[in-house]
Amino acid sequence: MTFAAYETDKELAQPVEIYEFSMGGEFFRFTSNDAPVTYLASVYENIPIQRTGIRKTLDAQQDNMTVTLPSNQPLVQQFIITAPGKNATLTLRRYHRNDPDLQAIALYKGLIHGVSFSQKGRVAELQIRPLASALNRTIPRLLFSNLCGHMLYDGRCKIVEAAPENQKLLPVTAVSGNTITCTGAGSFGLSDFFEAGFVTFAGDYRLVVKQTGDVLELLLPFSTSPMGQTVKCNKGCKHRVTADCLNRFANTANYGGFPYVPKKNPFQTGLD
Q: What is the 3-state secondary structure of 81-104?
A: CCCCCCCEEEEEEEEECCCCCCCC
Question: Would the pLDDT of 60 be above 60?
Answer: no
CATH number, domain with residue 192: 2.40.30
Query: Does a structural domain hold residue 8?
Result: no
Query: Does a structural domain hold residue 222?
Result: yes
Reported as type and span, the H/E element at residue 19 is strand 15-23
* pLDDT tens digits for range 65-81: 999 999 999 999 888 87
Q: How many domains does the chain have?
A: 2
Query: Does a structural domain hold residue 182?
Result: yes
Mean pLDDT of 253-264: 86
Query: Does a structural domain hold residue 149?
Result: no
Query: Does a structural domain hold residue 76?
Result: yes
If asked whether residues 60 and 131 sit together in one domain, one would say yes
Cα distances (angstroms) measured from residue 62 to each of 56, 92, 118, 132: 9, 18, 23, 11
Mean pLDDT of 207-224: 93
Pick from 169, 156, 172: which is nearest to 237 by CA? 156
Query: Does a structural domain hold residue 7?
Result: no
Burial 195-227 (b: 16+ CB within 10 A, else e): bbbbbbbbebbbebeebeebebbbebbbbeebe
Give me the domain span that covers residue 93. Answer: 14-136
Cα 80 to chain center, whole Å?
15
Please work out, in degrees rounded to the nearest 5, the angle formed at the alpha carbon of residue 78 by the alpha carbons of 75 and 80.
Answer: 115
Question: Would the pLDDT of 58 be above 70?
Answer: no
Average pLDDT over the chain, rounded to whole?
88
Comparison of pLDDT for 219 and 203, the residue scoring more: 219
Exposure of 169 by Cβ count < 10 A (0-12 exposed, 13-18 middle, 19+ buried)? exposed
For residue 29, give the 3-state DSSP assignment.
Answer: strand
If asked whether residues 127 and 199 sit together in one domain, one would say no
Query: Does a structural domain hold residue 151?
Result: no
How many angstroms separate the CA atoms of 12 and 234, rounded?
56
- What pLDDT score was predicted for residue 236? 96
Comparison of pLDDT for 271 and 15, the residue scoring more: 15
Task: Tell me how crowded residue 94 is: count the other CB atoms within 10 A of its CB.
Answer: 17
If asked whether residues 108 and 173 sit together in one domain, one would say no
- What pLDDT score was predicted for residue 13? 83
Query: Does a structural domain hold residue 26?
Result: yes
If asked whether residues 179 and 128 sit together in one domain, one would say no
For residue 112, give the 3-state DSSP assignment.
Answer: strand
Q: From the CA atom positions of the chain, what is the Rg in Å? A: 24
Question: Would the pLDDT of 34 be above 60?
Answer: yes
Indicate the pLDDT class of residue 261, thresholds 50, 70 and 90: confident
* pLDDT tens digits for range 118-163: 988 899 999 999 887 766 666 666 777 889 989 999 999 999 999 9
Task: Tell me how crowded residue 272 is: count the other CB atoms within 10 A of its CB.
Answer: 5
If asked whether residues 113 and 176 sit together in one domain, one would say no
* pLDDT tens digits for range 166-196: 999 999 999 999 999 999 999 998 899 999 9
If asked whether residues 79 and 32 sit together in one domain, one would say yes
Last residue in a domain, options 78, 113, 136: 136
